[in-house]
Structure 1
Protein backbone atom coordinates (compact mmCIF):
# COMPACT_ATOMS: atom_id res chain seq x y z
CA UNK A 1 0.00 0.00 0.00
CA UNK A 2 1.31 3.45 -0.92
CA UNK A 3 0.51 6.77 0.73
CA UNK A 4 -2.10 7.74 -1.88
CA UNK A 5 -3.96 4.50 -1.27
CA UNK A 6 -3.90 5.05 2.48
CA UNK A 7 -5.26 8.60 2.09
CA UNK A 8 -8.02 7.38 -0.24
CA UNK A 9 -8.82 4.45 2.04
CA UNK A 10 -9.16 6.47 5.22
CA UNK A 11 -12.64 7.43 6.35
CA UNK A 12 -14.33 8.11 9.67
CA UNK A 13 -15.79 4.72 10.58
CA UNK A 14 -18.96 4.91 12.67
CA UNK A 15 -19.71 1.21 13.12
CA UNK A 16 -17.10 -1.32 14.22
CA UNK A 17 -16.97 -5.09 14.42
CA UNK A 18 -16.68 -6.90 17.74
CA UNK A 19 -13.13 -7.92 16.90
CA UNK A 20 -10.14 -7.23 19.17
CA UNK A 21 -7.05 -5.31 18.13
CA UNK A 22 -3.81 -6.69 19.59
CA UNK A 23 -1.90 -4.23 21.77
CA UNK A 24 1.24 -4.93 19.76
CA UNK A 25 -0.49 -3.68 16.62
CA UNK A 26 -1.47 -0.43 18.36
CA UNK A 27 2.07 -0.04 19.69
CA UNK A 28 3.45 -0.51 16.18
CA UNK A 29 1.20 2.22 14.79
CA UNK A 30 2.05 4.71 17.53
CA UNK A 31 5.75 3.93 17.39
CA UNK A 32 5.85 4.70 13.67
CA UNK A 33 3.67 7.79 14.11
CA UNK A 34 6.36 9.33 16.31
CA UNK A 35 8.02 10.41 13.05
CA UNK A 36 5.21 12.91 12.40
CA UNK A 37 6.53 16.43 11.69
CA UNK A 38 6.91 18.90 14.54
CA UNK A 39 8.42 22.38 14.29
CA UNK A 40 11.48 22.67 16.52
CA UNK A 41 11.00 18.96 17.25
CA UNK A 42 8.79 19.92 20.21
CA UNK A 43 6.58 16.82 19.84
CA UNK A 44 3.85 18.32 22.08
CA UNK A 45 1.45 15.40 21.66
CA UNK A 46 0.43 12.74 24.17
CA UNK A 47 -1.81 9.73 23.63
CA UNK A 48 -3.56 7.42 26.09
CA UNK A 49 -4.70 4.00 24.87
CA UNK A 50 -7.80 2.57 26.56
CA UNK A 51 -9.33 -0.82 25.77
CA UNK A 52 -10.92 -3.91 27.29
CA UNK A 53 -12.64 -3.70 30.65
CA UNK A 54 -11.18 -0.26 31.33
CA UNK A 55 -12.82 1.13 28.21
CA UNK A 56 -16.14 -0.42 29.17
CA UNK A 57 -15.84 1.14 32.63
CA UNK A 58 -15.07 4.56 31.15
CA UNK A 59 -18.02 4.42 28.76
CA UNK A 60 -20.36 3.42 31.59
CA UNK A 61 -19.08 6.38 33.61
CA UNK A 62 -19.65 8.78 30.71
CA UNK A 63 -23.15 7.42 30.11
CA UNK A 64 -24.05 8.20 33.71
CA UNK A 65 -22.58 11.68 33.39
CA UNK A 66 -24.51 12.27 30.16
CA UNK A 67 -27.81 11.42 31.86
CA UNK A 68 -27.16 14.05 34.52
CA UNK A 69 -25.60 16.61 32.20
CA UNK A 70 -26.88 16.07 28.62
CA UNK A 71 -25.02 19.15 27.38
CA UNK A 72 -21.77 17.98 28.87
CA UNK A 73 -19.26 19.87 30.97
CA UNK A 74 -18.12 23.44 30.54
CA UNK A 75 -15.99 23.24 27.36
CA UNK A 76 -12.31 24.07 27.27
CA UNK A 77 -12.49 24.88 23.57
CA UNK A 78 -15.12 25.37 20.87
CA UNK A 79 -15.44 22.36 18.58
CA UNK A 80 -16.81 24.81 15.99
CA UNK A 81 -16.64 28.61 15.96
CA UNK A 82 -19.69 30.14 17.69
CA UNK A 83 -20.87 31.62 14.37
CA UNK A 84 -19.96 29.70 11.23
CA UNK A 85 -20.02 31.66 7.98
CA UNK A 86 -20.14 30.38 4.42
CA UNK A 87 -19.01 28.08 2.94
CA UNK A 88 -18.30 26.33 6.24
CA UNK A 89 -21.84 26.54 7.58
CA UNK A 90 -23.30 24.81 4.52
CA UNK A 91 -20.59 22.15 4.55
CA UNK A 92 -21.29 21.27 8.16
CA UNK A 93 -25.06 21.22 7.59
CA UNK A 94 -24.77 18.99 4.52
CA UNK A 95 -22.41 16.63 6.30
CA UNK A 96 -24.95 16.07 9.06
CA UNK A 97 -27.86 15.66 6.68
CA UNK A 98 -26.01 13.14 4.52
CA UNK A 99 -24.78 11.17 7.53
CA UNK A 100 -28.27 10.63 8.94
CA UNK A 101 -29.71 10.01 5.48
CA UNK A 102 -27.21 7.19 4.96
CA UNK A 103 -28.90 5.24 7.77
CA UNK A 104 -32.44 6.32 6.99
CA UNK A 105 -32.99 8.82 9.80
CA UNK A 106 -35.13 11.77 8.66
CA UNK A 107 -34.48 15.28 9.91
CA UNK A 108 -37.69 15.40 11.95
CA UNK A 109 -36.80 12.24 13.94
CA UNK A 110 -34.88 14.01 16.71
CA UNK A 111 -34.96 11.00 19.02
CA UNK A 112 -33.30 8.72 16.46
CA UNK A 113 -30.73 11.39 15.64
CA UNK A 114 -29.83 11.80 19.30
CA UNK A 115 -29.56 8.03 19.72
CA UNK A 116 -27.15 7.85 16.79
CA UNK A 117 -25.12 10.79 18.10
CA UNK A 118 -24.88 9.10 21.51
CA UNK A 119 -22.97 6.25 19.86
CA UNK A 120 -20.03 8.66 19.75
CA UNK A 121 -19.56 8.07 23.46
CA UNK A 122 -19.56 4.32 22.86
CA UNK A 123 -16.80 4.75 20.26
CA UNK A 124 -19.23 3.22 17.74
CA UNK A 125 -18.35 -0.21 19.12
CA UNK A 126 -14.59 0.08 18.56
CA UNK A 127 -12.46 -2.06 20.91
CA UNK A 128 -9.79 0.63 21.37
CA UNK A 129 -9.96 4.37 21.93
CA UNK A 130 -6.94 6.66 21.71
CA UNK A 131 -7.23 9.84 23.76
CA UNK A 132 -5.06 12.77 22.69
CA UNK A 133 -3.84 15.69 24.75
CA UNK A 134 -1.39 18.56 24.45
CA UNK A 135 0.64 20.59 26.92
CA UNK A 136 -1.47 23.58 27.98
CA UNK A 137 1.51 25.88 27.66
CA UNK A 138 1.73 25.32 23.92
CA UNK A 139 0.38 27.83 21.39
CA UNK A 140 -1.83 27.60 18.30
CA UNK A 141 1.07 26.42 16.16
CA UNK A 142 1.68 23.36 18.31
CA UNK A 143 -1.95 22.29 17.93
CA UNK A 144 -1.12 21.82 14.26
CA UNK A 145 1.67 19.45 15.33
CA UNK A 146 -0.87 17.38 17.26
CA UNK A 147 -3.08 17.27 14.17
CA UNK A 148 -0.21 16.03 12.02
CA UNK A 149 0.53 13.32 14.57
CA UNK A 150 -3.10 12.22 14.54
CA UNK A 151 -3.25 12.14 10.74
CA UNK A 152 -0.12 10.00 10.72
CA UNK A 153 -1.77 7.60 13.18
CA UNK A 154 -4.88 7.34 10.99
CA UNK A 155 -2.92 6.61 7.81
CA UNK A 156 -0.77 4.00 9.54
CA UNK A 157 -3.95 2.37 10.83
CA UNK A 158 -5.17 2.01 7.24
CA UNK A 159 -1.86 0.36 6.35
CA UNK A 160 -2.49 -2.10 9.19
CA UNK A 161 -5.95 -2.96 7.85
CA UNK A 162 -7.67 -0.99 10.61
CA UNK A 163 -10.07 1.95 10.66
CA UNK A 164 -10.45 5.04 12.80
CA UNK A 165 -12.81 7.84 13.70
CA UNK A 166 -11.43 11.01 15.29
CA UNK A 167 -13.99 12.11 17.87
CA UNK A 168 -14.08 15.60 19.32
CA UNK A 169 -17.37 14.61 20.95
CA UNK A 170 -15.41 13.17 23.89
CA UNK A 171 -14.40 16.74 24.76
CA UNK A 172 -17.94 17.29 26.06
CA UNK A 173 -16.84 15.26 29.08
CA UNK A 174 -13.19 16.22 29.09
CA UNK A 175 -12.97 16.41 32.88
CA UNK A 176 -14.33 12.92 33.43
CA UNK A 177 -12.08 11.43 30.76
CA UNK A 178 -9.03 13.32 32.04
CA UNK A 179 -9.60 12.04 35.57
CA UNK A 180 -10.12 8.47 34.37
CA UNK A 181 -6.92 8.32 32.31
CA UNK A 182 -4.86 10.21 34.88
CA UNK A 183 -4.21 13.25 32.71
CA UNK A 184 -1.76 15.65 34.42
CA UNK A 185 -3.04 19.17 35.09
CA UNK A 186 -0.56 20.67 32.63
CA UNK A 187 -2.06 18.63 29.78
CA UNK A 188 -5.24 19.69 27.98
CA UNK A 189 -7.55 16.99 26.69
CA UNK A 190 -8.33 17.30 22.99
CA UNK A 191 -10.27 14.34 21.63
CA UNK A 192 -10.66 10.61 21.27
CA UNK A 193 -10.09 8.37 18.28
CA UNK A 194 -11.96 5.09 17.84
CA UNK A 195 -9.73 2.33 16.47
CA UNK A 196 -10.69 -1.11 15.21
CA UNK A 197 -12.09 -3.10 12.30
CA UNK A 198 -14.95 -1.24 10.63
CA UNK A 199 -18.17 -3.03 9.73
CA UNK A 200 -17.85 -2.35 6.02
CA UNK A 201 -21.34 -3.71 5.35
CA UNK A 202 -22.97 -1.10 7.57
CA UNK A 203 -24.61 1.66 5.48
CA UNK A 204 -23.01 4.44 7.52
CA UNK A 205 -19.57 3.16 6.54
CA UNK A 206 -20.47 3.22 2.86
CA UNK A 207 -21.21 6.93 2.98
CA UNK A 208 -18.43 9.39 2.23
CA UNK A 209 -18.21 13.15 2.61
CA UNK A 210 -17.32 15.13 -0.49
CA UNK A 211 -14.48 17.63 -0.80
CA UNK A 212 -14.21 21.08 -2.31
CA UNK A 213 -12.64 21.12 -5.80
CA UNK A 214 -8.92 21.76 -6.05
CA UNK A 215 -9.60 25.20 -7.54
CA UNK A 216 -11.26 26.26 -4.26
CA UNK A 217 -8.32 25.06 -2.18
CA UNK A 218 -5.11 25.67 -4.09
CA UNK A 219 -3.81 28.80 -5.80
CA UNK A 220 -0.87 28.41 -8.16
CA UNK A 221 1.18 31.61 -8.38
CA UNK A 222 3.66 31.54 -11.24
CA UNK A 223 4.01 35.17 -12.35
Structure 2
Protein backbone atom coordinates (compact mmCIF):
# COMPACT_ATOMS: atom_id res chain seq x y z
CA UNK A 1 0.00 0.00 0.00
CA UNK A 2 1.30 3.45 -0.93
CA UNK A 3 1.48 6.08 1.82
CA UNK A 4 -0.91 8.36 -0.08
CA UNK A 5 -3.49 5.56 -0.15
CA UNK A 6 -3.22 5.01 3.60
CA UNK A 7 -3.61 8.75 4.21
CA UNK A 8 -6.69 8.98 2.00
CA UNK A 9 -8.27 5.79 3.40
CA UNK A 10 -7.84 6.71 7.06
CA UNK A 11 -11.14 7.62 8.68
CA UNK A 12 -12.77 7.42 12.10
CA UNK A 13 -14.22 3.95 12.64
CA UNK A 14 -16.87 3.72 15.36
CA UNK A 15 -18.16 0.14 14.98
CA UNK A 16 -15.95 -2.96 15.14
CA UNK A 17 -16.18 -6.69 14.58
CA UNK A 18 -16.09 -8.89 17.67
CA UNK A 19 -12.64 -10.12 16.69
CA UNK A 20 -9.34 -9.84 18.51
CA UNK A 21 -6.42 -7.92 17.08
CA UNK A 22 -3.42 -10.20 16.63
CA UNK A 23 -0.40 -9.57 18.85
CA UNK A 24 1.92 -9.13 15.87
CA UNK A 25 -0.32 -6.37 14.56
CA UNK A 26 -0.35 -4.64 17.94
CA UNK A 27 3.44 -4.73 17.93
CA UNK A 28 3.51 -3.36 14.38
CA UNK A 29 1.30 -0.45 15.44
CA UNK A 30 3.57 0.48 18.33
CA UNK A 31 6.72 0.00 16.25
CA UNK A 32 5.28 2.47 13.74
CA UNK A 33 4.26 4.89 16.49
CA UNK A 34 7.71 5.10 18.07
CA UNK A 35 9.30 5.97 14.73
CA UNK A 36 7.68 9.41 15.04
CA UNK A 37 9.78 12.50 15.81
CA UNK A 38 10.17 13.10 19.54
CA UNK A 39 11.10 16.47 21.04
CA UNK A 40 14.66 16.57 22.43
CA UNK A 41 14.91 12.85 21.69
CA UNK A 42 13.20 12.14 25.03
CA UNK A 43 10.80 9.42 23.89
CA UNK A 44 8.77 10.22 27.02
CA UNK A 45 5.67 8.46 25.76
CA UNK A 46 3.91 5.41 27.16
CA UNK A 47 1.47 3.27 25.19
CA UNK A 48 -1.04 1.50 27.44
CA UNK A 49 -2.80 -1.42 25.77
CA UNK A 50 -6.26 -1.88 27.29
CA UNK A 51 -6.84 -5.34 25.91
CA UNK A 52 -8.22 -7.58 28.67
CA UNK A 53 -11.96 -8.20 28.76
CA UNK A 54 -12.27 -6.21 31.98
CA UNK A 55 -10.20 -3.29 30.68
CA UNK A 56 -12.12 -3.15 27.40
CA UNK A 57 -15.44 -3.12 29.19
CA UNK A 58 -14.29 -0.33 31.50
CA UNK A 59 -12.79 1.66 28.63
CA UNK A 60 -16.08 1.52 26.73
CA UNK A 61 -18.05 2.57 29.80
CA UNK A 62 -15.72 5.53 30.35
CA UNK A 63 -15.93 6.49 26.67
CA UNK A 64 -19.73 6.37 26.79
CA UNK A 65 -19.77 8.51 29.92
CA UNK A 66 -17.43 11.02 28.28
CA UNK A 67 -19.48 11.19 25.08
CA UNK A 68 -22.68 11.87 27.02
CA UNK A 69 -20.93 14.59 29.04
CA UNK A 70 -19.52 16.11 25.86
CA UNK A 71 -22.89 16.43 24.15
CA UNK A 72 -24.64 17.56 27.31
CA UNK A 73 -22.04 20.33 27.63
CA UNK A 74 -22.65 21.20 23.98
CA UNK A 75 -26.36 21.59 24.74
CA UNK A 76 -27.69 18.67 22.68
CA UNK A 77 -31.43 18.07 23.29
CA UNK A 78 -32.32 15.25 25.69
CA UNK A 79 -33.92 13.11 22.97
CA UNK A 80 -30.67 13.18 20.99
CA UNK A 81 -28.70 12.30 24.11
CA UNK A 82 -30.95 9.28 24.56
CA UNK A 83 -30.32 8.22 20.95
CA UNK A 84 -26.59 8.57 21.59
CA UNK A 85 -26.88 6.34 24.66
CA UNK A 86 -28.72 3.73 22.60
CA UNK A 87 -25.96 3.73 19.98
CA UNK A 88 -23.31 3.48 22.70
CA UNK A 89 -24.84 0.91 25.02
CA UNK A 90 -27.14 -1.13 22.77
CA UNK A 91 -25.54 -0.90 19.33
CA UNK A 92 -21.94 -0.94 20.57
CA UNK A 93 -20.62 2.30 19.13
CA UNK A 94 -16.94 2.70 20.15
CA UNK A 95 -16.95 -0.84 21.62
CA UNK A 96 -13.59 -2.07 20.37
CA UNK A 97 -11.46 -5.18 20.87
CA UNK A 98 -8.57 -2.89 21.79
CA UNK A 99 -8.03 0.56 23.26
CA UNK A 100 -4.62 2.22 23.25
CA UNK A 101 -3.91 5.11 25.61
CA UNK A 102 -1.02 7.33 24.56
CA UNK A 103 0.47 9.05 27.61
CA UNK A 104 3.45 11.33 28.12
CA UNK A 105 5.53 11.49 31.30
CA UNK A 106 5.68 15.15 32.31
CA UNK A 107 8.61 14.43 34.65
CA UNK A 108 10.80 13.53 31.68
CA UNK A 109 11.86 16.81 30.10
CA UNK A 110 14.84 18.66 28.67
CA UNK A 111 14.45 22.23 29.96
CA UNK A 112 14.18 22.65 33.73
CA UNK A 113 12.27 25.39 35.56
CA UNK A 114 8.64 26.46 35.79
CA UNK A 115 9.08 29.00 32.99
CA UNK A 116 9.36 26.08 30.54
CA UNK A 117 6.48 23.95 31.92
CA UNK A 118 3.98 24.92 29.23
CA UNK A 119 6.49 24.66 26.39
CA UNK A 120 7.75 21.25 27.52
CA UNK A 121 4.17 19.96 27.74
CA UNK A 122 3.42 21.31 24.26
CA UNK A 123 6.48 19.62 22.78
CA UNK A 124 5.63 16.32 24.45
CA UNK A 125 2.02 16.43 23.27
CA UNK A 126 3.17 17.23 19.72
CA UNK A 127 5.53 14.23 19.82
CA UNK A 128 2.76 11.92 21.03
CA UNK A 129 0.34 13.30 18.43
CA UNK A 130 2.80 12.44 15.65
CA UNK A 131 3.13 8.95 17.12
CA UNK A 132 -0.66 8.60 17.07
CA UNK A 133 -0.78 9.54 13.40
CA UNK A 134 1.90 6.96 12.57
CA UNK A 135 -0.11 4.36 14.48
CA UNK A 136 -3.33 5.23 12.66
CA UNK A 137 -1.74 5.09 9.22
CA UNK A 138 -0.12 1.74 9.99
CA UNK A 139 -3.53 0.48 11.10
CA UNK A 140 -4.93 1.27 7.64
CA UNK A 141 -2.14 -0.75 6.03
CA UNK A 142 -2.94 -3.67 8.36
CA UNK A 143 -6.66 -3.61 7.55
CA UNK A 144 -7.60 -2.15 10.93
CA UNK A 145 -9.79 0.79 11.85
CA UNK A 146 -9.13 3.42 14.52
CA UNK A 147 -10.83 6.37 16.14
CA UNK A 148 -9.44 9.14 18.32
CA UNK A 149 -11.42 9.52 21.56
CA UNK A 150 -10.91 13.02 22.94
CA UNK A 151 -13.53 12.75 25.70
CA UNK A 152 -11.17 10.49 27.67
CA UNK A 153 -9.57 13.71 28.91
CA UNK A 154 -12.60 14.86 30.88
CA UNK A 155 -11.90 15.32 34.58
CA UNK A 156 -12.61 12.12 36.45
CA UNK A 157 -12.36 9.99 33.31
CA UNK A 158 -8.66 10.46 32.54
CA UNK A 159 -7.92 9.62 36.19
CA UNK A 160 -9.73 6.29 35.84
CA UNK A 161 -7.74 5.39 32.75
CA UNK A 162 -4.53 6.14 34.67
CA UNK A 163 -5.74 4.11 37.64
CA UNK A 164 -6.45 1.12 35.38
CA UNK A 165 -2.90 1.37 34.04
CA UNK A 166 -1.40 1.82 37.51
CA UNK A 167 0.46 4.99 36.54
CA UNK A 168 0.95 8.22 38.51
CA UNK A 169 -0.22 11.80 38.23
CA UNK A 170 2.91 12.74 36.28
CA UNK A 171 1.40 11.03 33.24
CA UNK A 172 -0.83 13.01 30.87
CA UNK A 173 -3.23 11.27 28.49
CA UNK A 174 -2.73 12.71 25.00
CA UNK A 175 -5.23 10.43 23.30
CA UNK A 176 -7.23 7.25 23.56
CA UNK A 177 -7.47 5.27 20.32
CA UNK A 178 -9.96 2.51 19.56
CA UNK A 179 -8.51 -0.24 17.37
CA UNK A 180 -10.16 -3.17 15.61
CA UNK A 181 -11.50 -4.66 12.41
CA UNK A 182 -14.18 -2.36 10.94
CA UNK A 183 -17.70 -3.73 11.04
CA UNK A 184 -18.71 -1.75 7.96
CA UNK A 185 -17.04 -0.68 4.72
CA UNK A 186 -14.57 2.17 5.09
CA UNK A 187 -15.92 5.41 3.61
CA UNK A 188 -13.52 8.30 4.19
CA UNK A 189 -15.16 11.72 4.36
CA UNK A 190 -14.10 14.61 2.18
CA UNK A 191 -12.60 17.62 3.93
CA UNK A 192 -14.83 20.68 4.26
CA UNK A 193 -12.10 23.19 3.44
CA UNK A 194 -10.16 23.36 0.19
CA UNK A 195 -6.40 23.72 -0.23
CA UNK A 196 -6.85 27.43 -0.92
CA UNK A 197 -8.71 27.99 2.36
CA UNK A 198 -6.14 26.35 4.62
CA UNK A 199 -2.88 27.51 3.03
CA UNK A 200 -1.17 30.91 3.07
CA UNK A 201 2.04 31.58 1.14
CA UNK A 202 4.34 34.27 2.52
Measured against the shorter chain, the TM-score band is 0.7 to 0.9
Say yes or no: does 1:179 pair with 2:163.
Answer: yes
* Aligned pair partner of 2:97 in 99, 116, 127: 127
Say yes or no: does 1:198 pair with 2:198.
Answer: no
* Greater Cα shift, 31-40 or 3-12: 31-40
TM-score normalised by the chain length of structure 2: 0.76
Please report how far the alpha carbon of residue 13 of structure 1 lies from its aligned counterpart in structure 2 after TM superposition. Answer: 0.3
Q: Supply the distance in 1 between the matched residues of 2:188 and 2:3 (Cα, whole angstroms).
A: 22
Change beyond 3 A, Cα 1:60–1:21: closer
* Aligned pair partner of 1:158 in 128, 132, 140: 140
Q: Supply the distance in 1 between the matched residues of 2:58 and 2:176 (Cα, whole angstroms).
A: 12
Number of residue pairs the alignment of both structures matches: 182
Partner of residue 53, structure 2:
53
Q: Supply the distance in 2 between the matched residues of 1:124 and 1:148 (Cα, whole angstroms).
A: 22
Partner of residue 80, structure 2:
109
Q: Any gaps of 5 or more consecutive residues in structure 2? A: 108-119
Please report how far the alpha carbon of residue 187 of structure 1 lies from its aligned counterpart in structure 2 after TM superposition. Answer: 0.9
Please report how far the alpha carbon of residue 123 of structure 1 lies from its aligned counterpart in structure 2 after TM superposition. Answer: 6.6
After superposition, what is the alpha-carbon deviation per residue over 1:148-192, rounded to whole angstroms, capped at 9, x for unaligned? 010000001111111100101222311111101112232112331
Map 1:1-223 onto structure 2 (within 5 A). 1-59=1-59, 62=62, 66=65, 71=69, 109-116=80-87, 118=88, 124-137=94-107, 138-172=120-154, 173-201=157-185, 206=187, 208=189, 210-221=191-202
Cα RMSD of the aligned pairs, angstroms, is 3.2
Please report how far the alpha carbon of residue 109 of structure 1 lies from its aligned counterpart in structure 2 after TM superposition. Answer: 3.4
Change beyond 3 A, Cα 1:24–1:124: same
Change beyond 3 A, Cα 1:161–1:71: closer
Please report how far the alpha carbon of residue 55 of structure 1 lies from its aligned counterpart in structure 2 after TM superposition. Answer: 2.4
Name the SS for the 1:190 alignment partner: strand
> 2:147–2:178: 8 Å Cα contact kept in structure 1?
yes
> 1:17–1:125: 8 Å Cα contact kept in structure 2?
no
TM-score normalised by the chain length of structure 1: 0.70
Name the SS for the 2:125 alignment partner: helix
Please report how far the alpha carbon of residue 206 of structure 1 lies from its aligned counterpart in structure 2 after TM superposition. Answer: 3.9
